[in-house]
Structure 1
Amino acid sequence: MTSATTTPADRADDERRPGGARPDTGEPSPARRDPYDRDVLPAPPGASRALLRELVGPHKVRAWCAAIMLLVQQAAVQAGPLIVAYAIDRAVPALRAHDRGPLIVTAVGYIGCALLGGWLQRTFIRSSAIVSQDVLLELRGRIFRQAQALGLDFHERYTSGRIIARATSDVEAIRELLTEGLQELLNVGLSVLYIAGVLIWLDWRLGLFSLATAVPLVFSVRRFRRRSKRVYTRRSAAMASVIVRFSETLGGIRPVQAFRRERANDEAFARLNSAHRAANGDAIVEMGRFTVSSWLIANTSVALVVLWGAYRVAAGSLELGVLAAFVLYLRRLYAPIDPLGMFLNSWQSAAASLEKIAGLLAQSPSVPEPAEPRALPERASGRPGRAVVFEGVRFAYRTGGEVLPRFDLAVPAGQTVAVVGATGAGKSTLAKLLARFYDPTSGRVTLDGVDLRELAVPELRRGVVMVTQEAFLFSGTVAENIALGDPDATPEQIEAAAKAIGAHDFIAGLPEGYDTDVRKRGGRISAGQRQLVAFARALLADPAVLILDEATSSLDVPGERAVQRAMHTVLRGRTAVVIAHRLSTVEIADRVLVMADGRVVEDGPPSELTRADGEFAGLHRAWRDSLV
């Protein structure tokens, strides 16, 4: 039972696309653009820094120990040129006077510093790797938990490809910074401090001159950071767009091939891929500019220091060993230019990624847990259902108009209500409000008098279960998929639920029975068999309220009959709301609601509505004629 026209309510309800995407390009419609259409979600100021502190906080002791080890390691490494200066100015003259002691001290000191520096470097890398991997482990876990906690409205608007990008490419960018770039930054920072102090201690005039010549390098770094930040933010967004297009195309590979969308998808993907290539090219150009300008500054600085230092050596105001130490230290000071550029690349990429992850983690669930949850009253003996009441409910999606202008409905415990109507009438919205995938804009939905917003989410999910048209199955065995209804169920209970639904025979006929892997999305079994497994899962969950959202609309006649027999079993005594497109499904209902434009226009037993001269009677006659 479908409508030939599409109304605004259609787009806002049954046929809403995530993010208000255009069907031809997948890009968001300008009229519906909102924060979820952007790759970077809004977050409070300083959210990324706060997130970093939270992640590193539990590892402060190990991080400080690693920092101390690196401090000592740099002292050992930077002692090398000083030992060389001592050898030139003291040990060699002493050797000419037949005194080998200073030279032996020099050799032992140089070798000892090298060994100590290498051991400390190894220990630091191991310790920092443990910290970084723990941080990444926690970060991935937070992203995954947040993705599951956020409401249905978020996932319908913020594509799964972007969430995948947060957990993969963005976490990988942070990993590169923590495992490779951060050590380089600490090494560079400590070496600059050590070298600056030693140069001034060796000869304060030449030391200050050397540091003054490096000032232009500081401005070069600042300019590179400012320009590259924009480039890497754009590159990260381009990469996320590529992942989104890739995942959505593969997720919808059947309609892509059925409607010959390969060429159009190739063209769309080529545009996104070209944008990513352009962003990468801009990053390479910025890196090239920084490297060339930095080495020009470095070589000019070393040349000036050597010229003045040589003049002073010739004048006798500076020792040759000190000048040699200056040259060695300056080479060490400027040697990290290329690694520094790579680190700044990693830094900007990781900063952009951390900002996106912080934005995702800052989103609040649209259906939050109540501060003080209430418990449902005990169900009466022999009364598995609960009373459902919609009181003055209004609801509007953020990207569309009002779907339910005002809705009042009372469903007694144990009653089965079928809801019919044209596409976009508000049927699925009613089901989503009852399952608390959304909260009403105003009014309330109650279960035995308790507002759904006052129930703890675990108790609500035990009490209200939805079986959808898709009947989604996870990769794993048939038994594991049925046991989702009750993870503590025994194999005997699982088999009993399957028998009660009428699924046992086909399951027993599978290659490995209940241990047969259904594979991705249950692709190993038919649509009707997947629905039977979903009903067995619902029966095992033993909910008080069951919602069936077009559970037979995609089935053939034999499959529909098998599922309807299962529906009789699973609905017995429970409160049920059945969203129906096929009027054959309505026959099992105690009561029928006909909806139009978010309102109930007819309400009554199916037999009475069939005899009346109303909209349902017309739909019923059309359905009977189609069977003939």
Structure 2
Amino acid sequence: MSGRGPMGGGPHGGLGAAPPAKVADFRGSLRRLLAALRPERAWLGAVVVLGAVSVALAVMGPKLLGDATNIVFDGVVGRMLPAGSTKDEAVEALRAAGEDRMADLVSGTGVVPGQGIDFDALGGQIVVVLAVYVLSAVFLWAQGLILAHVVQRTGFRLREDVQAKIDRLSLGHLDSRPRGDVLSRVTNDIDNVTQSLQQTLSQLVTSLLTVVGVLVMMFVLSWQLALIALVTVPVSAVMTMLIARRAQPHFVAQWKSTGDLGGQVEQAFTGHEVVTAFNAGDSFARTFEAENDRLYRASFRAQFISGTIMPAMGFVSNLNYVLVAVVGGLRVASGAITLGEVQAFIQYSRQFTQPLAQLASMANLVQSGVASAERIFELLDAPEESADPAAPRTPEQVRGRVLFDDVSFRYEADTPLIEHLDLVVEPGQTVAIVGPTGAGKTTLVNLVMRFYDIDAGRILLDGVDTRQMSRHDVRKQVGMVLQDTWLFNGTIAENIAYGRSGASDEEVRDAARATGVERFVHSLAEGYDTVVDDEGGAISAGEKQLITIARAFLSDPQILILDEATSSVDTRTEVLVQHAMGELRKGRTSFVIAHRLSTIRDADRILVMEHGSIVEQGTHDELLAAGGAYADLYSSQFAAAVVEE
């Protein structure tokens, strides 16, 4: 395609272009990501409630186990004391015998002298503990089930928003972005966001609730030991923040590199034949290796730096454990606390540091998810096409008259392309547009389709400015066959029927017969039910083009745009297509972009464009007689054909 268009690359287009550099806004992106969860507020409330119940039950466990330990300990110690006396009498006897430490220990217990382990009480306590932990697990399972629905619905809405956004994006924006990078944002980044939410939200709720619940129980058991455990909290927080701050830029680089690598892979697959034909495999391999190495390095740094959080938190946790065990042992020996309470406190200290470690370890997940969310929001914030008018106008009667009135347009603000163009195309006329590459031929018809909005002037369709019409109404009147064919993954019949919603099977076959598709369909085993895609499958490039022509035929437009539609067909097929196009153009206004001038001799008017301007116009014979730019183009093609023969 000459110039720059919706299916071609521009000066900044192509798959190899790098995404724009941007500064990571962690807090802003995190707030927007959390705002995406607002529609699930009620379910998130249920997640919190279920988590709170589960955590409350789990927090009760160590205390109940501590009571069980006390039953065992009291029984063991009670068997060592003489029966028939009270605990106070036993303590006094121990002190009289000089066993002060043992006396302190016994005074802090609930022993009954001479009585052993109460196995009935012990069994009942164990049953209670098991029931508490089972119920905690059930509530936690219910929380996970609801959270999975919440996260997946959020991902569903994000994908919907991105798809709707892509439909509203200006083609200029899409032309300037690598396809692989856009695809990576729609697939990889949204998947990473949902996975990060799934893993972090559950841990966040349970960890925070666990910290609060455990902290309360620790103060209930021993405020002195609780203060010792709290000493490690600020140390953990500072270490986590320092490590996370260093890891965040690398997570941003990781997902940017993922998009770049996706662009390289997509480019290698779609251009595989060209790469192979020009022996460019080694060059592609080197480029891929460089992008892959960049992704490896960014991922390694991000994961390694964030991965140091857990070892650091483990060290702090072990330090806390040692302090609690030593001080707790001394307090048991002094009778200030029971052995079961120390055991429970040690478990609580572990439960206290574990959620802190989990919160710290979530830093890498959160950073990775926010880095992906930032890329998604960047796409959602991209400039869109200008809005259609609130009250769009439509022509009273669509006849196909097109008027360019002093039209100016440029892709880049400092690079003029079309300046002060005037053109009138009457209904039913066939207008051929010729000229060298980059002359603005495809740009001209793109402006008719409103793929781009003009900078100045007017384009009128049957007397109505196209900017006063909705894009849907404009494009409904126009059928387009591009030089680069496009088929979606479906049957031949479905690809043809894509031209008009609700078309019957007979109408599809009529379009196929009129454009020569039926000529080769009968040679296929599945006929019209043969499955094809953009790669073509079992059909040739020329046959693919015939299908796209049949699609345009079925849409029955009033204005027809043919962008070198016969460039991919062989000579015999070209005769059939030209005949079909002659039938298709009857009664319709047609714009034909052509490089082979022999195919447009019968055009009602031929426009010769150079540098965005019409330098000549007239019929084939008139332009040849004028001896100008068209005559030079025609003679150069004829001379080239003679030389080739």
| TM-score, normalised with respect to structure 2 | 0.87
Given that residues 59 and 210 in structure 2 are in contact (C-alpha distance below 8 angstroms), is that contact kept between their aligned partners in structure 1? yes
| Structure 1 position 627, deviation (Å) | 4.5
Map Cα deviations across residues 72-106 of structure 1 (whole Å, 9 max, x no partner): 00000111111123334468546855766754552
- Give the aligned partner of residue 31 of structure 1: none
Residue 441, structure 1, aligned to residue 434, structure 2: no
- Give the aligned partner of residue 86 of structure 2: none
- Give the aligned partner of residue 53 of structure 1: 35
- Give the aligned partner of residue 539 of structure 2: 525
Q: 3-state DSSP class of the match of 2:488? A: coil
CA separation in 1, counterparts of 2:6 and 2:32? 39
Distance 1:223 1:18, change over 3 A: farther
Distance 1:91 1:445, change over 3 A: farther
- Give the aligned partner of residue 166 of structure 2: 147
Q: 3-state DSSP class of the match of 2:405? A: strand
CA separation in 2, counterparts of 1:123 and 1:15? 49
Q: 3-state DSSP class of the match of 1:200? A: helix
One-letter amino acid matched to 1:182? L
Distance 1:40 1:165, change over 3 A: farther
Distance 1:623 1:143, change over 3 A: same
- Give the aligned partner of residue 408 of structure 1: 422
Distance 1:490 1:16, change over 3 A: closer
- Give the aligned partner of residue 203 of structure 1: 222
- Give the aligned partner of residue 327 of structure 1: 346
Residue 234, structure 1, aligned to residue 271, structure 2: no
Map Cα deviations across residues 16-68 of structure 1 (whole Å, 9 max, x no partner): 74572699xx355xxxxxxxx326699999466335423x2332222211221
Distance 1:324 1:248, change over 3 A: same
Map Cα deviations across residues 337-380 of structure 1 (whole Å, 9 max, x no partner): 6644542221111110011111111223235433332223233x
Map Cα deviations across residues 118-162 of structure 1 (whole Å, 9 max, x no partner): 111111111111222222222223323333332322221111101
Residue 537, structure 1, aligned to residue 537, structure 2: no
One-letter amino acid matched to 1:81? P
- Give the aligned partner of residue 463 of structure 1: 477
CA separation in 2, counterparts of 1:515 and 1:521? 17
- Give the aligned partner of residue 119 of structure 1: 138
Residue 607, structure 1, aligned to residue 626, structure 2: no
Distance 1:396 1:41, change over 3 A: farther
Q: 3-state DSSP class of the match of 1:543? A: coil
CA separation in 2, counterparts of 1:337 and 1:598? 65
One-letter amino acid matched to 2:58? V
- Give the aligned partner of residue 573 of structure 2: 559
Equivalent of 1:587 in 582, 591, 601: 601
Equivalent of 2:303 in 276, 284, 288: 284
Equivalent of 1:512 in 526, 547, 553: 526
Given that residues 165 and 380 in structure 2 are in contact (C-alpha distance below 8 angstroms), is that contact kept between their aligned partners in structure 1? yes
- Give the aligned partner of residue 94 of structure 2: none
Structure 1 residues not aligned, in runs of 5+: 3-9, 29-36, 380-384
CA separation in 2, counterparts of 1:330 and 1:501? 79
Given that residues 160 and 244 in structure 1 are in contact (C-alpha distance below 8 angstroms), is that contact kept between their aligned partners in structure 2? yes
CA separation in 2, counterparts of 1:550 and 1:182? 55
Which shows bigger deviation, 582-591 or 141-150? 141-150
1:276-355 equivalences under 5 Å are: 276-336=295-355, 339-355=358-374
Equivalent of 2:66 in 85, 99, 111: 85
Distance 1:144 1:15, change over 3 A: closer
Given that residues 69 and 120 in structure 1 are in contact (C-alpha distance below 8 angstroms), is that contact kept between their aligned partners in structure 2? yes
Q: 3-state DSSP class of the match of 1:398? A: coil
Residue 178, structure 1, aligned to residue 170, structure 2: no
CA separation in 1, counterparts of 2:303 and 2:382? 34
Distance 1:353 1:44, change over 3 A: closer
Map Cα deviations across residues 521-544 of structure 1 (whole Å, 9 max, x no partner): 334222332222222111111111
Given that residues 251 and 368 in structure 2 are in contact (C-alpha distance below 8 angstroms), is that contact kept between their aligned partners in structure 1? yes
| Structure 1 position 194, deviation (Å) | 0.9
Distance 1:588 1:367, change over 3 A: farther
Which shows bigger deviation, 550-559 or 389-398? 550-559
Which shows bigger deviation, 581-590 or 310-319? 310-319
Equivalent of 2:289 in 267, 270, 273: 270
Equivalent of 2:405 in 373, 391, 412: 391
CA separation in 2, counterparts of 1:40 and 1:492? 54
Given that residues 236 and 352 in structure 1 are in contact (C-alpha distance below 8 angstroms), is that contact kept between their aligned partners in structure 2? yes
CA separation in 2, counterparts of 1:543 and 1:45? 50
Q: 3-state DSSP class of the match of 2:285? A: helix
Distance 1:623 1:437, change over 3 A: same
Q: 3-state DSSP class of the match of 2:230? A: helix
One-letter amino acid matched to 2:540? S
One-letter amino acid matched to 2:429? Q
One-letter amino acid matched to 1:413? P
Given that residues 69 and 339 in structure 2 are in contact (C-alpha distance below 8 angstroms), is that contact kept between their aligned partners in structure 1? yes
| TM-score, normalised with respect to structure 1 | 0.90
- Give the aligned partner of residue 623 of structure 1: 637
Map Cα deviations across residues 519-576 of structure 1 (whole Å, 9 max, x no partner): 4433422233222222211111111111111112333322322221121011111111
Distance 1:459 1:349, change over 3 A: same
Equivalent of 1:133 in 152, 164, 168: 152
- Give the aligned partner of residue 224 of structure 1: 243
- Give the aligned partner of residue 508 of structure 2: 494
Which shows bigger deviation, 442-451 or 272-281? 442-451
Residue 419, structure 1, aligned to residue 433, structure 2: yes
Give aligned-pair identity as a percent: 33
Distance 1:549 1:362, change over 3 A: same
Equivalent of 1:247 in 260, 266, 285: 266
Q: 3-state DSSP class of the match of 1:301? A: helix
One-letter amino acid matched to 2:550? A
- Give the aligned partner of residue 467 of structure 2: 453
Equivalent of 1:67 in 39, 42, 48: 48
Q: 3-state DSSP class of the match of 1:498? A: helix
Distance 1:75 1:231, change over 3 A: same
One-letter amino acid matched to 1:355? E
Distance 1:113 1:586, change over 3 A: same
CA separation in 2, counterparts of 1:528 and 1:43? 49
CA separation in 1, counterparts of 2:209 and 2:306? 23
Equivalent of 1:156 in 175, 183, 187: 175
Q: 3-state DSSP class of the match of 2:608? A: strand
Given that residues 307 and 364 in structure 2 are in contact (C-alpha distance below 8 angstroms), is that contact kept between their aligned partners in structure 1? no
Give the RMSD, CA atoms, in angstroms. 2.7
One-letter amino acid matched to 2:165? Q
Structure 2 residues not aligned, in runs of 5+: 75-109
One-letter amino acid matched to 1:154? H
Q: 3-state DSSP class of the match of 2:535? A: helix
CA separation in 2, counterparts of 1:41 and 1:167? 21
Given that residues 200 and 362 in structure 2 are in contact (C-alpha distance below 8 angstroms), is that contact kept between their aligned partners in structure 1? yes
CA separation in 1, counterparts of 2:25 and 2:520? 51
Map Cα deviations across residues 252-293 of structure 1 (whole Å, 9 max, x no partner): 111111111110111111111111111122123213432232
Q: 3-state DSSP class of the match of 1:444? A: strand
Given that residues 434 and 445 in structure 1 are in contact (C-alpha distance below 8 angstroms), is that contact kept between their aligned partners in structure 2? yes
1:355-370 equivalences under 5 Å are: 355-370=374-389
CA separation in 2, counterparts of 1:105 and 1:440? 83
Indicate the structure (1 or 2) with the bigger Cα radius of gyration: 2
Distance 1:539 1:15, change over 3 A: closer
Given that residues 295 and 337 in structure 1 are in contact (C-alpha distance below 8 angstroms), is that contact kept between their aligned partners in structure 2? no
Q: 3-state DSSP class of the match of 1:578? A: strand
Equivalent of 2:12 in 17, 20, 23: 20
